[in-house]
Amino acid sequence: MAIPVGMAAQGQNQQPPDYVVADLGTLGGTRGEANAVSNKGSVAGDATLLGDTVKHAFLWRKELIKDLDTLGGPNSRAASLNEEDEVTGFSGISTPDPLGEDFYRRRGDCPWPIQGPQM
């Protein structure tokens, strides 16, 4: 991951841009990715946990990585990051369809076979 710390002017005989290459590490697994970088050098991304079966969002800043966990489900993913190091993203929850929305079943255009009673 290259983290820019300054921009070089366009043109000939210019110095290359200043940047820092940092190994962000993982959350114990073998894969990880950065999805957003702030101007302060903080990074939001996601990485696998030990065993590589689930992925959690993380926030990396000042050379420390923090697992942002999930909302009860197995996986989460970081999507963006602002200058206050607030991360937005996605997370699974422990209860599928807790409000009973079931949009596909009501509209009748579910792209996969539906089991159970049709509405």
How confident is the model over 80-100, as pLDDT tens digits? 999 999 999 999 888 877 787
DSSP 38: -
**Is the pTM higher than 0.85?**
no
CA separation for the pair 101, 43 (Å, rounded): 34
**Which phi and psi (to 5°) does residue 76 adopt?**
-145, 165
Domain-located, residue 75: yes
Domain count, the chain: 1
CA separation for the pair 79, 37 (Å, rounded): 10
Domain range holding 36? 26-92
Report helix, strand or coil for 104: helix
What's the whole-number average pLDDT of the chain? 81
Instruction: Give residue 119's pLDDT.
Output: 43
DSSP 87: E
- CA angle centred on 100, ends 107 and 102, rounded to 5°: 25
